[in-house]
Chains A and B, each alone.
Chain A
């Protein structure tokens, strides 16, 4: 089962309309809508709800004044960090000041969403506009402040250094200095956020459904915010229509307010975010300005690298410094950098908050490093692939310590990899060495082609831990649960494959539940390409424990030595002797000594049925054929990959077309290659989107000008190239399954790769992404520097 392209267990329900997404639940719930700030920065002078009170079906309108206790306090700073000295988080409903367009000011509850929107439109809020801070450089100038008590708009400034980079650059035979820019984009799952809360007043308990990437942490946050005992709160992530990072942020204002209102009203309340809200009230990512200085030798080996990053964290910083920390630590990639210094400044702006979006700071890091590699190659007149080769960490140098501290607070030590082999495979796949002839032939036809490449290393599978529960029931079926959530990754399938492999049962007999705190309450969440590594290994460990127990129980029944037994074909038997044992279902019966029989199978476990030693207790350990397992790694595992692309740029219109896209990918052992490839395809598509189509177009007033799918250019099938893939498997020595994460891989180097290819086609330096045809046109016609 492990390693095979098993078809997904999720698909039959999703293909027949039987999936259950957030807004598919709670048809009778009241609907919430929010009055949101139309200003990027303003003082609230008054809120007048009187005009809304006549709306038929209106149930309640709340403002910050109505909130009480912890709900009235600022939302939590989720990931504290010693360097985050000026961390600011929003209130669930704005108190006095709004700091970005879309910030919630009032909550309306009504019989349905149409009526709630009617009422929300009639709430009048008085604003006294304040000067907005838009753009990271304006923020750095510090002339206007997002938070009056945060000088210079600086949330945090942090430096990491391995060696004396500045001295190394000074002493280097060659040096270069340049600036790079990356604009905002966003996860933009097709299902927005959503929360549906049911308060049971009789039981004083709360059940919340949330379209989240972490139901366990939402549960703990809600218990804390709402003052409820943890056992009285259940949170369930139903089918989730995509996350890509934005749904790891929590608790959202709406995620607290909807359950709070449900408790207050004694009614079910639901909020399903609409598309416009998602643009202005969820989270964005990516925007950075990078200043790079590099020193290198004649072979292109990097002797010193000094990077200074301005990072736009938006109006608040509830998710802490994770994104800029990842950028700053993943810059070195697969390379041995002589000496490396990185400093970032995380700055407030009057825009939507910034939290991880698939890749989470890595695309910016790879853009920085790979643009640097191309610059070095151009400066020395060397082949771009050769320069990378000259800098690679060699296969015999693992574990390799980059001398930095990663996002999990642990040393940045790479576990395994084979970068020279990956590059060799990539060059073969894309036809790197033969490309000059291809390019020349195209040029003779008046066509402009270019090739580019990019390499990355991705820390995946970060801790602290995940757990898994495996339970064989007396019908022989295997029920698996884990606390982290799913948003399309196929966890139900790959975790079932792992269990089927470990227990020797058909994959059809295994069902998997994720993200339901009723089934598994201890978890961290789904982010950082960690589910297969963390829950996969935890479930494998739980399955191994179940296996041991099954062998022990069966050995007693068979009066055999457990060491002589195996599980195969759903039977515990003498190794290699089919039909010699007992079905796993029976072992599950025997694992739970009974007094009462309710069917014939159960009767086998009752006190007068089974031969038992009268001097031993009937139960050893815990009853039932089930076990929990937890996996907590000492540090992250490091996947890697290399991409290459061939682009054509139209000489007349400056349109950019990706003709070929090739990926060599190493995520350790593959559990399901079909699913891994699907993850890569989708990641590359998001990468192409971020490189050529998508951005958040804020004007100087902090208005988001493209807050719709009309103007935020998420690509259709017509814009996305075919992706050719090849796999390299260097197992991770850190975990029992030898796996590394794959979820984010596809997106990470795409901007770097396409910049490299466009630069090759155009012979113009590409220093910013995304790049539109209009941008390219103006680059072509810009006056020479």
Chain B
């Protein structure tokens, strides 16, 4: 499971990126977080001739809080999730982001990438649709803004044209008297939802429902938005009964059966989740202060000051008309991830695929030592560490980002090295399991794992150690739930996890004792 050959481009500016994209044509794919694209490459389900890696384009990681949340193409899920300003302005984002895969995936995945990927089971597109957000697309010589409702056109299909890049996604701010919620059911924590519902409810000062809408995920070709104001408005103040809304939503969707759930079950779940989400959103609407959120700020040094105050947020376009129910299901063609497309030809900085003698110089600081090698553009960071640098402590268990064995720290943040191209991270610092100990002295996390018998075969262990090390650095006194969430993206087949959870808590004790 290795990526097929492609020409790798690493533009330094947006213009250069757009130029390359335009020339790459339908054979070009943009690499930002890569958490959806690289699994498809590794499984050889996608074989683009050109990969345009935008990770080195300056200025694409701008997160602007200005009447809403505007995220540039390199704003990672984890950053938006943690940012208190984002949460104050639009709490639905954090509510949804906590359901997006696992924390380690969120460290790389981007909001814009989620939108561009247009997976109908994904949370962020549903949020964007529910909030009447917009998508700004840029291409060589032009830009346009598309309403969320018009952006998603089918499973993994969007209205992005060849050569276009999602330059930003805009999530309007929460209005006073409004509450939101995201409820979903997944088979495993972090999996794509069998069904999910994002809800938004607005109450007037008397407690009457003035607006209510839901967006359903996993039950149609695109996120399905439905206005349910009428069901809430009919109820007396403070006591909206959402059962009718749930039934109406259930009747309006046409999900499909797959190996995880039947269409009937998904319909049933969507009704249950609609009720839960609307009730939770109603409760929050009551609690949401009519005073505006904190003063918006730019989250990136040097970016322009906010153009408008909180009032501007209130003046964002009001609710649009409710989207019609999704069409009658049916089998829609599963397009490959066509993020963007354009025409023919190799762009600037192009390097031919595959072979010897050619390739990219990758220089990284690994465990405090600068190391380098010349590798093809498609070399995965996991293989680069293991086979080029011969640091075999990092293991490979699935090569599609699910198992977590290959987790390393990239500038301190845990990431999947099997979902990262080595060339993407040139110039950055990596810590692998070999770098956790202080000489011969094992780290507290390592010692706690030995003490608690938290490993058996030891194959998944390096990934757990790296993940736990970052977790405890950021949160030295985690609760049991925080420990569980923290390691929830790593598979272990031997231990049943019980002793791993104990070991992480024990490591916190050891670190506190030393501190």
Contact = CB atoms under 8 A, between A and B. Distances in A.
6 A-B pairs closest in CB distance: A17-B393, A488-B457, A241-B459, A14-B458, A685-B496, A488-B456
B191 to A, nearest CB: 7
Contact of B456 (A113, A678, A710): A678
B436 interface: yes
Contacts of B259: 697, 705-706, 711
B453 interface: yes
Given A709-B398, A718-B484, A653 B185 contact: yes
Given A23-B386, A723-B496, A709 B354 contact: no
Contact of B450 (A12, A487, A713): A12
A714 interface: yes
B491 A714 contact: yes
Contacts of A681: 495-499
Contact of A716 (B188, B376, B393): B188
B479 to A, nearest CB: 14
Interface string A310-324: 000000000000000
Contacts of B334: none
Given A21-B459, A488-B458, A682-B456, A714 B391 contact: no
Interface stretch (A90-98, A186-194, A372-380, A528-536): A186-194
A455 to B, nearest CB: 21
Contacts of B5: 114, 118
Contacts of A111: 356
Query: Which among B405, B450, B488, B489 has the greatest number of chain A C-beta atoms within 10 A?
Result: B450
Contacts of A655: 185
Given A16-B433, A16-B437, A242-B457, A11 B498 contact: no
A769 interface: no
A27 B390 contact: yes
Given A16-B436, A17-B434, A719-B189, A678 B495 contact: yes
Given A681-B496, A708-B402, A716-B190, A21 B436 contact: no
B386 A716 contact: no
Interface string A217-261: 000000000000000000000011110100000000000000000
A242 B2 contact: no
A7 interface: yes
Nearest to A717: B497
Contact of A777 (B265, B456, B465): B265
A17 B462 contact: yes
Contacts of A609: none
A121 interface: yes
A19 interface: yes
A229 B451 CA distance: 46
A241 B485 CA distance: 25
A121 B44 CA distance: 9
Contacts of A242: 456-457, 459, 493-494
B498 A723 contact: yes
27 contacts: A15-B455, A15-B458, A15-B461, A16-B434, A17-B462, A19-B459, A57-B355, A189-B457, A189-B493, A190-B395, A240-B457, A241-B460, A274-B1, A275-B398, A653-B269, A681-B495, A681-B498, A708-B398, A710-B191, A714-B491, A715-B188, A716-B102, A716-B489, A718-B190, A746-B496, A772-B187, A777-B268
B254 to A, nearest CB: 17
B250 interface: no
B264 A678 contact: no
Contacts of A8: 450, 453
Contacts of A720: 496-498
B397 A191 contact: yes
A713 B272 contact: no
Interface string A290-313: 000000000000000000000000
A746 B191 CA distance: 26
Contacts of B350: none
Given A27-B387, A190-B491, A489 B500 contact: no
Contacts, number: 240
Contacts of A188: 493
B456 A190 contact: no
B455 A23 contact: no
Contacts of A520: none
B492 interface: yes
A15 B463 CA distance: 10
Contacts of B189: 716, 718-719
* Interface band, chain A: 35 or more
Contact of A21 (B3, B379, B395, B451): B395
Contacts of B190: 716, 718
Contact of A15 (B102, B265, B446, B489): B446
A514 to B, nearest CB: 13
Contacts of B500: 717
B403 interface: yes
Contacts of B496: 681-685, 720, 723, 746
Contacts of B1: 117, 274-276
Interface of B: 1-5, 39, 43-44, 102, 185, 187-192, 194, 259-262, 264-265, 268-269, 272, 354-356, 376, 378-379, 386-387, 390-400, 402-403, 405, 432-434, 436-437, 442, 446, 449-451, 453, 455-462, 465, 484-485, 487-501
A772 B269 CA distance: 14
Interface string A433-464: 00000000000000000000000000000000
A34 interface: no
A102 interface: no
B487 A714 contact: no
B121 to A, nearest CB: 11
B272 A653 contact: yes
Contact of A239 (B391, B398, B453, B458): B458
A686 B495 CA distance: 9
Contacts of B457: 189-191, 239-242, 487-488
Query: Which among B192, B434, B462, B496 has the greatest number of chain A C-beta atoms within 10 A?
Result: B496
A709 B187 CA distance: 12
Interface in A664-719: 674-675, 677-678, 681-686, 693, 697, 705-706, 708-711, 713-719
B494 A774 contact: no
A276 B42 CA distance: 10
A768 B392 CA distance: 42
B402 A7 contact: no
A718 B458 CA distance: 20
A19 B393 contact: yes
Nearest to B497: A717
Contacts of A19: 393, 458-459
A710 B489 CA distance: 12
Given A720-B497, A773-B265, 12 more contacts: A8-B453, A14-B458, A21-B395, A121-B44, A242-B459, A242-B494, A274-B399, A275-B399, A686-B493, A711-B259, A714-B491, A716-B488
A686 B396 CA distance: 21
A96 B1 CA distance: 27
B187 A56 contact: no
Contacts of A685: 495-497
Contact of A118 (B262, B354, B446, B462): B354
A244 B191 CA distance: 25
Interface in A260-303: 274-276
B44 A191 contact: no
Contacts of A240: 457
Nearest to A5: B453
Contacts of A488: 455-458, 494
A438 to B, nearest CB: 22
B436 A719 contact: no
A191 B460 CA distance: 9
Interface in A17-44: 17-21, 23-24, 27
B458 A117 contact: no
B393 A18 contact: yes
A675 B495 CA distance: 10
B260 A774 contact: yes
Nearest to A672: B453
